[in-house]
A and B are shown apart, each in its own frame.
Chain A
Amino acid sequence: MDPVLVQALSLLIGAAAAVLLQYGNYRWGGKRRKPEDDEENTKE
C-alpha cells in the first residue's frame, strides 16, 4: 500500500476513535441528566 495513504488512513482512524468515544459517551453515557429533571428540581 502507498505509504502516504497508510499515514493518512492511520490519522483518520485516530481522529475517528476520539470522535466516536466522545459521541458514544454523549449518546449512550451513563448518569445523563435530562433538562426536565433540572426543571423538576428547581420547582418550589
Chain B
Amino acid sequence: MTKGDLDGPTLFGRPIKPVAFGLVLTMTIIAQANVRGIDRGTQPPLSYIVSILAFAAVIALAWGWIAGNQRCAEVGLLLVVAAYTTRAAFSLLSSGPDPAVFFSLATVVIAGGSYLLEANSHKGGQEWTPSSSRH
C-alpha cells in the first residue's frame, strides 16, 4: 500500500487511487481536446505534443494500475506534470494570467504531490502491487 491508496476498499483486487483515477479522466479530456484542436490552453503544433504527453500519461497510469507497476505509475504522474506545466506556461506567455493558467497550475500541484507520495511510499515499504492493498 502506498500513501496514495484508500485504506481498505479495493477494485478488482487492486488498491483504489482516487487522485490517479481523477488524473486519468482529466488527461483523457486533454488528449482528445488537443487532438481535435479545441483546447483553448494550447495551439497547434504544441497541442499535438501535449496530446501525445496526455495520452502517454493515461497509458502509463492505467498500465501501472492494471499490472501493478509502481515505476510506470510514477512516470505517468510525471507526464501529467509535464503536460499541464506546458499548458500553463503557454497560456501565461500567450494570454497573460488567465484562469486557465491557475487551473493548470493547480493540477500540477495535485499531480506533483501525488508523485511525491507515490515515489516515497515504496522506499522501505510496500510497492503498488495488487497484493499490497490490504497491508
Q: How large is the interface on B (under 10, 10 to 19, 20 to 34, 35 or more residues)?
A: 20 to 34
B contact residues around A35 at 8 Å (CB): none
A interface residues, Cβ below 8 angstroms from B:
1, 3, 6-7, 9-11, 13-15, 17-18, 21-22, 25, 29-33
A contact residues around B90 at 8 Å (CB): 6-7, 10
A27 to chain B, nearest CB (A): 12
- Chain B residues numbered 85-135 whose CB sits less than 8 Å from any CB in chain A: 85-87, 89-90, 93-94, 108, 112, 115-116, 119-120, 123-124
Q: When chains A and B are docked, how far (Å) is the Cα of A25 from the Cα of B74? A: 12
Per DSSP, chain B at the interface is: helix
Does A29 contact B116, Cβ atoms closer than 8 Å? Answer: yes
**Contacts A25-B120, A31-B120: A6 and B82 contacting too (C-beta < 8 A)?**
no
The tally of CB-CB contacts under 8 A between chains A and B is: 66
Does A15 contact B124, Cβ atoms closer than 8 Å? Answer: no
Cβ contact of B123, chosen from A3, A11, A15, A33, cutoff 8 A: A33
Residue of B whose beta carbon sits closest to that of A38:
B124
Per DSSP, chain A at the interface is: helix
Q: Which of A6, A10, A29, A31 has the most CB of B within 10 A?
A: A10
Residue of B whose beta carbon sits closest to that of A18:
B82
Does A29 contact B120, Cβ atoms closer than 8 Å? Answer: yes
What are 19 A-B residue pairs whose CB atoms fall within 8 Å in the complex?
Answer: A1-B93, A7-B43, A10-B89, A10-B90, A14-B82, A14-B83, A14-B84, A14-B86, A17-B82, A17-B85, A17-B108, A18-B78, A21-B78, A22-B115, A25-B119, A29-B119, A30-B120, A33-B123, A33-B124
